[in-house]
Structure 1
Amino acid sequence: MDDFIASYGWIIWLVLILIFLTVEIVTLELTFLMVAIGSIGGLIAGLFGAEWWLQLVIAAVLAVILLVLIRPPLLRALKKGGDPARSNVDALPGTDGTVVASIGGEFGIGQVKLANGETWTARLSPITEQRIVAAGERVLVTSIDGATAVIVPVERVQP
């Protein structure tokens, strides 16, 4: 058995490395990348003539060191570069607009033209007083429910 591992151990390491890299491509969490790099350490130890048990120890120790010391800073660096600006539907809550077709009444649905120029089907938020909001009134989008803007009327401040 030892002769087999000594002769073909490098093939086993290559297969393990390919499996770990494949799993890493699917998961994208850098865990299996660190294990694959540890396996590369085991492969290199085997190419220099280390016993099979020493190859395993080297691979395991290297993988644990990489998981503990390298993976967390890499994950922080990857997450740091994200764009914090909201876009698309996520950017609409908090946007003001003007009622185009009255909201409320029999069906409770109307239309509102938002500050970004888009016209949306709209309904009153359940947290506000249910009344008819006439065309021309200013409103504020509180959320998006499917293709409908959920709005609240903006109270007019009198001087």
Structure 2
Amino acid sequence: MAAILWLIAGIVLAAAEMLTGDLTLLMLGVAALGTAGISAAADLPLWGDALVFAAVSGVLFLGVRPVLRRRFGTPPPLPTNADALPGKSGLVLEEIAEHSGRIKLDGEVWTARPLDPADVYEAGVTVYVMKIDGATAVVWKGP
């Protein structure tokens, strides 16, 4: 009977992990499932089940959870795609004004607009990308 309760607790805890994403409930759920298996095989008393649960939980929290958090919990080390463009320089291909302009940025042609709407940048000038707004590079000539 105790094995069935541990099994139900394990399934409920593992399912509840989907709401948190912290891997805490998953570790407790796996520990409860392990305890259910050992309890069914060995027919331990309740205090024995508690010791098994504590031991398995400790191993999972100290050994498995940190590895999983390092593997799945960190963002990519380098920004990619449009996130990598701010701070880069580009060459003005067509005059950049408030509503028009094009730059060459990392080998690609981008539409561009100045950071300050009053600025106008002539063709051939080097500008710096301040941010990406949709498919438009917001640029600044710099000091």
Q: Return the alpha-carbon distance in structure 2 between the equivalents of residues 115 and 101 of structure 1.
A: 13
SS in 2 for 1:102: strand
SS in 1 for 2:6: helix
Q: For residue 2 of structure 2, what is the aligned residue in structure 1?
A: 9
Unaligned runs of 5+ in 1: 1-7
**Match among 69, 79, 82 for residue 86 of structure 1:** 79
Q: For residue 46 of structure 2, what is the aligned residue in structure 1?
A: 52
Aligned residues between the structures = 141
**Match among 144, 148, 156 for residue 132 of structure 2:** 144
Q: Return the alpha-carbon distance in structure 2 between the equivalents of residues 92 and 152 of structure 1.
A: 13
Structure-2-length-normalised TM-score: 0.75
Question: Does residue 62 of the first structure (1) align with residue 35 of the second (2)?
Answer: no
Structure-1-length-normalised TM-score: 0.69
Post-superposition Cα deviations, 1:36-66, rounded to whole Å, max 9, x if no partner, equal 2321343213531222344235324532453
Q: Which amino acid aligns with 2:120?
A: I
Query: Does structure 1 retain, via aligned residues, the 8 Å contact 2:103–2:112?
Result: no
- The higher radius of gyration belongs to 1
Q: CA deviation at 1:26?
A: 5.8
Q: For residue 115 of structure 1, what is the aligned residue in structure 2?
A: 105
Q: For residue 19 of structure 1, what is the aligned residue in structure 2?
A: 12
Question: Does residue 31 of the first structure (1) align with residue 21 of the second (2)?
Answer: no
Cα root mean square deviation, aligned: 2.9
Q: CA deviation at 1:25?
A: 5.2
Q: Percentage identity across aligned positions?
A: 33
Q: CA deviation at 1:133?
A: 0.8
Distance 1:132-1:77 versus aligned 2 partners, 3 A rule: closer
Post-superposition Cα deviations, 1:91-140, rounded to whole Å, max 9, x if no partner, equal 11122222233223xxx1322222323222222224xx943211222211
SS in 1 for 2:96: coil
